[in-house]
Structure 1
Amino acid sequence: MTSRSKKSEDFQNEPIEDKLVSEVPGIGKTLGVKLASADIDKAYKVLAQFLMCDKKDAKFKDWLQKTCKANEEQQRDCFDAMKDWCSQHGL
Structure 2
Amino acid sequence: MKKHSNFVSEPMRNKPVGEVPGIGKTSAGRLDSRGYGESRDVLGKYLAVKGDEQRFRDFVMSNAGANSKSTGDCYKAMKEWTNNFL
- Higher percent of residues as helix: 2
Aligned to 2:30: 34
Moved over 3 A (4+): none
Q: Match of 1:74?
A: 70
Counterpart position of 1:50: 46
Distance 1:30 1:69 in 2: 9
Identity %: 36
Aligned residues: 86
Structure 2 gaps of 5+ residues are none
**1:8 aligns to 2:24 (yes or no):** no
TM-score when scaled to structure 2?
0.97
Q: Structure 1 residue 68: deviation in Å?
A: 1.5
Higher RCO (Cα < 8 Å, 6 or more apart): 2
CA RMSD of aligned residues (A): 0.6
Q: Does 1:25 align with 2:25?
A: no
Indicate the structure (1 or 2) with the bigger Cα radius of gyration: 1
